[in-house]
Structure 1
């Protein structure tokens, strides 16, 4: 048996790692895997960088940022597998939700209401609203920024963005430390079931089939003999997670304290309704997704404008590895159509 240590954050989209261990997909590939529940995305990045983790459940933009040296030293990484699409959302506090116009339902209407409320606060000399995101280099940060900026909100002046680990988001809403959070399942559901706010945006609305998490590893892992069996085990687990009859079992499994540690009833809604793990090519890391992330990094001045984006994307995103794993499992190669447009009708924002 070959040993591996894989890191994860307690979120519903770590499901493939958990299912691969619990249902024997790792063992079936001759892998002895230790799953390590980590406290934050920064910890995941740092442990992968120094080799304390062989690979991890990782924010897709984090792999790109680490390779570019954004926010720290250059740490080349690869993303040979997408772990899920969709699944995140923005929950507004009750106080902020009540400030929105009655009947505001669409993403544009809600954002316009927020922009108007923010303008009123600014005119009255009140402090900016505070929103929590899970990490600086994340789909959550970029989706929230894009959504608010499209309504005319000045992200540098009108709001304050803070980084908070996903499991702590609910408590920050409860104590009033933040006015809204952008976080992955199940924590929006936990917050709303606790009466703490309203989900105003889901990333499946913002960008249907949009990216989020990948399997991330140091670049040299691309040549490791353990990578191919790891990918085979994970894509088999992803296919298992997508089967409707398995979702109740999966929710109970993820609810265990060593994994997500939330009630199964809060985990279950995103399974099948929001998160997609394997079907429709969800497990293939798409170059178009990486391209969008790089446009957002440039837009928000996180990377140099003269960065060779195509070279960076090619070094990190490795769809051929995912497709090879699919081919050797007999699951078949997916037909990948063009990405769906974002909620405002554009395919990508050139920033």
Structure 2
């Protein structure tokens, strides 16, 4: 029997867990497919392998899939996102000197209060021609957009009051240690690695900036989706089972041990386990504290590709690239996310399937029953820290009211 194989590119991050676990735990083979995992150290390399046919799919930062489809920074290649690999799971980590300057106290800070203290330091440093520098993982990353959204919302002007540069996740702690950056916004386990090495202190979780914010996705070329629809549906079913496995407390230690291997994250299993179980160590030697939903997965249809999330990412692309709104580009950005493919693949699986493909982002404050075509869907808070709401049908109006 011929086995359909998917070569999937990934970066060494905890939110690469689902394709890794689908392979290691046999969920893929039960669906009649094989997964071959290809590790890289930069998102540009992950993207390029995908575009040039060295991989069939990729663990990818969501905005990069949209930027690639729109031709930002390179010729356009249509990508499709039929599955979200995780929500949130990132943090903003300050160097130990900056942490001292803003008075971090060993717990998650209030975004507004911390922002006020950071603004004072940032303006003082800028006046001395020594601006603070923050590292993000790619220009087109949720890390970049989350960090900028928070900074602008507390009165710190990105690219004017502070500098923002690109730092590969596995080297983020080293960049802090060398003094090349004063802060980082990256995924786990690299914030915790910086803390454990004593070169950084975690200040914020990105879940505090946008609760349930979209993070990594499964991306593939549109041509692959067109040619391998049945095999892709099997892959999505395997990933869905892997997500359920990932959130089971009984499997957490085993999952951490698998991810810790040298060919995957090559990081301490204990550090990875903290992320999986929503525990954060804010400073070196401190006992980890529980922060619910730090890394959100599986529940509340977390793997569903909401087109409104893609639209928000597109709005931030316009905002920070100083681009005019284009209805055609907005439609292309939203259509990169494929809820139709998700529903079709999981229709017989028992998975909860939202009935809508888009929603008002930031409007949910507590548990809310939502329409579904399969299963019972309850959605939790998806608030932005500044209480703004995003209507995907009025991107120009939304942008007009941002600071």
Indicate if the aligned counterparts of 2:61 and 2:215 stay in contact, CA closer than 8 A. Answer: yes
2:382 alignment counterpart: 340
Number of equivalenced pairs: 350
For residues 314 and 101 of structure 1, the distance between their equivalents in structure 2, rounded to whole angstroms, comes to 40
1:247 alignment counterpart: 252
Q: Return 5+ residue gaps in structure 1 as ranges.
A: none
* Structure 2 SS opposite 1:300: helix
Please identify, of 41-50 and 104-113, the stretch whose mean Cα deviation from structure 2 is larger: 104-113
Give 1:144's match in structure 2, choosing from 147, 162, 166. 147
Alignment RMSD: 1.8
Superposed displacement of residue 272, structure 1 = 3.5
2:20 alignment counterpart: 18
Instruction: Extract structure 1 runs of 4+ deviating beyond 6 A.
Output: none
1:289 alignment counterpart: 309
* Structure 2 SS opposite 1:110: helix
For residues 246 and 324 of structure 2, the distance between their equivalents in structure 1, rounded to whole angstroms, comes to 39
* Matching of residues 176-187 of structure 1 within 5 Å: 176-187=179-190
1:302–1:58: structure 2 CA closer, same or farther, 3 Å change rule?
Answer: farther
Indicate if the aligned counterparts of 1:91 and 1:180 stay in contact, CA closer than 8 A. Answer: yes
Indicate if the aligned counterparts of 2:314 and 2:330 stay in contact, CA closer than 8 A. Answer: no
Q: Return 5+ residue gaps in structure 2 as ranges.
A: 279-293, 355-376, 391-397
Please identify, of 155-164 and 67-76, the stretch whose mean Cα deviation from structure 2 is larger: 155-164
2:111 alignment counterpart: 107
Superposed displacement of residue 215, structure 1 = 0.1
* Structure 2 SS opposite 1:267: helix
* Structure 2 SS opposite 1:269: helix
Superposed displacement of residue 341, structure 1 = 1.6
2:60 alignment counterpart: 58
1:342–1:260: structure 2 CA closer, same or farther, 3 Å change rule?
Answer: same
1:228 alignment counterpart: 233
Superposed displacement of residue 340, structure 1 = 1.4
Indicate if the aligned counterparts of 2:109 and 2:204 stay in contact, CA closer than 8 A. Answer: no
For residues 279 and 86 of structure 1, the distance between their equivalents in structure 2, rounded to whole angstroms, comes to 13
Please identify, of 156-165 and 280-289, the stretch whose mean Cα deviation from structure 2 is larger: 156-165
1:324–1:302: structure 2 CA closer, same or farther, 3 Å change rule?
Answer: farther
2:32 alignment counterpart: 30
1:338–1:312: structure 2 CA closer, same or farther, 3 Å change rule?
Answer: farther
TM-score by length of 2: 0.83
1:314–1:150: structure 2 CA closer, same or farther, 3 Å change rule?
Answer: closer
User: Aligned pair 1:278/2:298, yes or no?
Assistant: yes
User: Aligned pair 1:306/2:326, yes or no?
Assistant: yes
1:219 alignment counterpart: 222
Indicate if the aligned counterparts of 2:311 and 2:334 stay in contact, CA closer than 8 A. Answer: no
Indicate if the aligned counterparts of 1:288 and 1:339 stay in contact, CA closer than 8 A. Answer: no
For residues 350 and 81 of structure 2, the distance between their equivalents in structure 1, rounded to whole angstroms, comes to 22
User: Aligned pair 1:121/2:141, yes or no?
Assistant: no
1:126–1:7: structure 2 CA closer, same or farther, 3 Å change rule?
Answer: same
2:335 alignment counterpart: 315
1:91 alignment counterpart: 93
User: Aligned pair 1:160/2:180, yes or no?
Assistant: no
User: Aligned pair 1:208/2:211, yes or no?
Assistant: yes
TM-score by length of 1: 0.95
For residues 324 and 69 of structure 2, the distance between their equivalents in structure 1, rounded to whole angstroms, comes to 13
Give 2:133's match in structure 1, choosing from 122, 130, 134. 130
1:188 alignment counterpart: 191
Superposed displacement of residue 305, structure 1 = 2.5
Please identify, of 80-89 and 149-158, the stretch whose mean Cα deviation from structure 2 is larger: 149-158
User: Aligned pair 1:262/2:267, yes or no?
Assistant: yes
For residues 77 and 104 of structure 2, the distance between their equivalents in structure 1, rounded to whole angstroms, comes to 48
